[in-house]
Chains A and B, each alone.
Chain A
């Protein structure tokens, strides 16, 4: 059935009723909604794990969990947040917004879209099982490797590791299919006149994200497949006893893992590229350069992976190359930040919740950029490696850079998705609460890290107690703030002030998408006939 026929059918019959609407859905909005709900569930699951981790670290010594369980929690917290929260939430927004922005009736490959979503709950279930199965006697060691899954520890871990490997296969297939779908949608389904250089920045960001995922995900899948073979079939890809090299796994993992950081960041940068012009009521400063910077980020991101492995004993020439490459990355990223600041310069700013998040992200993400440059420098990194300084750095990069960017997107588009305005006052309370709590949580970790507190260890030396008490208290407030987030979302879905087609005054400056031409909430199928581009 062609997309046009489906659109035709939907015009007459509307969405199917009941559970069939969701399970058999080929509609980009329904699938987008399911992605977002899945991400929200995973946010609370991963968040609950973080709460246990911080509760354990509140005081030195062992209180709540034993060391293996602690490391299991650390591993799954990371995997759930990366693969369960950020990637599905970004994919959900892509599903919802990209067809509407470029004037398409739906995604290019709607059935593939259904498959790529429904692989996720299966993968999520298996991920949680991989964590729980270690508690059953006789299943071997828990998954205690951290999300990097380095051998030889990952070769020694128990049955949970096998489930985790298959989880990664499923997640990989899911995100590869979603990426292929999004890339083909962007390249083929644009309305006549919507040229590439007229696309909203969010669409550009997802074009690069999709391509990046297509390139890197298979490498991780290959790496964990080799791990599986080493565990069960007597191969020795990574087992030094059989002539393998455990460092090879690190290279394969970080060949995926470093670009993965950009996979997490780029969609949020795309969201910022829409929100900042909207609430500054000024076109985006330097739209073309921003597209180029994202392209440079895409290319450079693929060739600097080994800066995560300075301590493995590579030759000085090799680490110098990776150091210079990594520092180079700060140039396009820094210029992106400047572009956003210049967009705000002399604009007529208003500070609705999405804009507050956007400004906070620019500040906090720049901070992560600065610590990132510190970590890129080899002699300094040898000191910081595997300390809480690294934990603080990547939480400053990924929580504002990726997660807050998605929150900003949620507030920005909730009126469009639901047809209701969210409660602005509650939104602002949530913003201040979560931002302040986030900083209380992670800022002290810079100091404990510089003082030498190692990461991924359940206990710590007593001189770090004060920093950890502050950090834990902040974390509890940070966790609690998300109940308010959930409440705001539910409240907006259930009712609220009617949203107009274009709920934000400045929503159509610069390079807007076509989503504002549609009603709020939009019809089941976005554009049955290609819209005319002004």
Chain B
């Protein structure tokens, strides 16, 4: 019966090793949370509009205004689920020339009876146009805090880069407002 015992001991040891692999892989799932963000920011592979983690200059230097081209910029406003705000651009769309500075006012109102801190996240369609839309001033740069019932007009100042590919004639700038409650809690816990 020596062989039997040997086999049993070996089986149990192997089962234990495989069990440790299982635990390690469970941990790997959770390790992906920070790793994913790290890999994406280092390699710049998370965003199709982000060409390899290239850093854009902070200051926009206005070039020549190209009056021969007219670009239609459409605006889209979205509120994330459960955010009791209203958000409206002053105009649905504007026609602009590449290189000129444009200002569009956005109206935002807190319809609830509590103070809410929210963050707007921008998105550009088609994605190829993302790097040619330069926002000089934007309510999405900072969090917006609104008291109960408070409303506000927020300016958006942007320039379309004259290097925008010829094929793009219309682009859509979309904003989604999200309640930051959760992240505020987390930030308070961390700092």
Contacts of A185 in B (CB 8 A): 11
Given A3, A226, A234, which contacts B182 in the complex, CB threshold below 8 Å? A234
Binary per-residue interface labels of chain B (131-163) against chain A in the complex, 1 for a CB within 8 Å, 0 otherwise: 000000000000000000000000000000000
Q: Are B32 and A241 in contact (CB under 8 A)?
A: no
**Nearest residue, chain B, Cβ from A216:** B25
Evaluate whether A315 and B26 lie within 8 angstroms (CB atoms) in the complex, with A184-B11, A251-B36, A252-B32 already known: no
Q: Which of A265-298 contact B (CB under 8 A)?
A: none
- Report B-chain residues with C-beta under 8 Å of the C-beta of A241: 80, 83, 178-183
**Can you name the residue of chain A whose Cβ is closest to the Cβ of B19?**
A180
Residues of A contacting B52 in the complex (Cβ-Cβ under 8 angstroms): 315, 317
Task: Check if B21 sits within 8 Å of A188, measured CB to CB.
Answer: no
Q: Tell me whether B23 is interfacial, beta carbon within 8 Å.
A: yes
How near does chain A come to B80, taking the closest CB pair, in angstroms?
5
**B185: CB under 8 A from chain A?**
yes
Option from B22, B182, B183 in Cβ contact (under 8 Å) with A176: B22
Majority-rule SS of B interface residues? helix
Q: How large is the interface on B (under 10, 10 to 19, 20 to 34, 35 or more residues)?
A: 35 or more
Please name all residues of chain B whose beta carbon is closer than 8 Å to the beta carbon of A181 when the two chains form the complex.
Answer: 15
Q: Is the CB of A184 within 8 A of B15?
A: yes
Instruction: Assess whether B26 is in contact with A222, with CB atoms less than 8 Å apart.
Output: yes
Given A251-B32, A315-B52, decide whether A218 and B26 contact each other with a Cβ distance below 8 A. yes
Q: Mark A159-191, 1 if CB is under 8 A from B, else 0.
A: 000000000000000001001110111011100
Tell me whether A222 and B29 are in contact in the complex, defined as CB-CB below 8 angstroms, given that A245-B36, A318-B45 are known contacts: yes
Query: Is the beta-carbon distance between B1 and A188 smaller than 8 angstroms?
Result: no
Q: How many Å lie between the Cα of A230 and that of B143 in the bound state?
A: 22
Q: Is the CB of B80 within 8 A of A248?
A: no
Look across to chain B and name the residue whose beta carbon is closest to the beta carbon of A180: B18
- The total of interchain contacts (Cβ-Cβ below 8 angstroms) comes to 134
| Candidate in A112, A225, A241, A317 with the most chain B CB atoms within 10 angstroms | A241
Size of the A side of the interface (Cβ < 8 Å), in residues, is 51
Residues of A within 8 A of B1 (CB): 2, 4
Query: A215 is contacted by which of B4, B21, B47 (Cβ under 8 Å)?
Result: B21
Residues on the B chain within 8 Å of A240, using CB: 80, 121, 178
Bound complex: CA of A252 vs CA of B183, how far in Å? 22
User: In the complex, what residue of chain A is closest to B49 when comparing beta carbons?
Assistant: A313
- Assess whether A187 is in contact with B48, with CB atoms less than 8 Å apart: no
The answer to whether the Cβ of B8 comes within 8 Å of any Cβ in the partner chain is: yes
* B38 CB, nearest partner CB in chain A, Å: 12
Which chain B residues lie closer than 8 Å to A222 at the CB level? 25-30
Asked whether any CB of chain B lies closer than 8 Å to the CB of A214, the reply is: yes
B36 touches A248 (CB 8 A): yes
- Least Cβ distance of A527 to chain B in Å? 12
- Please, which residues of chain A bring their CB within 8 A of the CB of B185? 234
Q: CA separation between A318 and B45, bound complex, in Å?
A: 6
Q: Which of A3, A176, A234, A252 contacts B4 (CB 8 A)?
A: A3
Q: CB within 8 Å of B: which of A142-165?
A: 152, 156
In contact, A236 and B182 (Cβ under 8 angstroms): yes
**Chain B residue with the shortest CB-CB distance to A237:** B33
Q: For chain B residues 1-55, which have a beta carbon within 8 Å of chain A?
A: 1, 3-5, 7-8, 10-12, 14-15, 18-19, 21-30, 32-33, 36-37, 43-52
Q: Are A313 and B25 in contact (CB under 8 A)?
A: no
**How far is A117 from B72 in the complex, measured between Cα atoms in Å?**
62
Quick one: CB contact mask for A195-234 with B, threshold 8 Å, 1 for yes?
0000000000000000000111111111101100000001
B interface list, Cβ under 8 A from A: 1, 3-5, 7-8, 10-12, 14-15, 18-19, 21-30, 32-33, 36-37, 43-52, 80-81, 83, 121, 127, 178-183, 185-186
Nearest 6 A-B pairs (CB), nearest first?
Answer: A222-B29, A242-B182, A241-B178, A218-B25, A218-B26, A108-B11
